[in-house]
Amino acid sequence: MSVPALAFFGVGGIFVFGWTGTALISQIGHIFMASAIAWVVYGIFKDQNFKQATIGLLLAAFFVNAFICLQQMYVGKHLDRLQEIMEWQPK
């Protein structure tokens, strides 16, 4: 059930965040998330739990999509806060 969230936030984060400064810490986490996807897929095929994997994938798709919709609605209503976060520079 974790694969869609790991793919969206982990693998997607690799392409969103930079590769300098403190962003390297985030990128290490994103690489671990991407490797977790490979580990989960390996476990599914090793144990041949295709029915359970399909059920988990469908449930996760529903919950991840619901979360992302709520997140985007929040961002749409608070664009000024998003702009503030995006322009923040550590000292």
pLDDT in tens, 15-33: 988 888 888 888 999 999 9
Mean pLDDT, residues 54-74: 88
| C-alpha–C-alpha distance, residues 38 and 22, integer Å | 26
Question: pLDDT grade, residue 35 (50/70/90)?
Answer: very high
| C-alpha–C-alpha distance, residues 64 and 2, integer Å | 9
Output the pLDDT for position 84: 85
How long, in residues, is the chain? Answer: 91
The residue extents of the domains of the chain are: 3-87
Question: What digits encode the pLDDT tens for the residues 44-61?
Answer: 889 898 998 899 888 988
- In the chain, what percentage of residues exceed pLDDT 70? 100
DSSP single-letter state for residue 78 = -
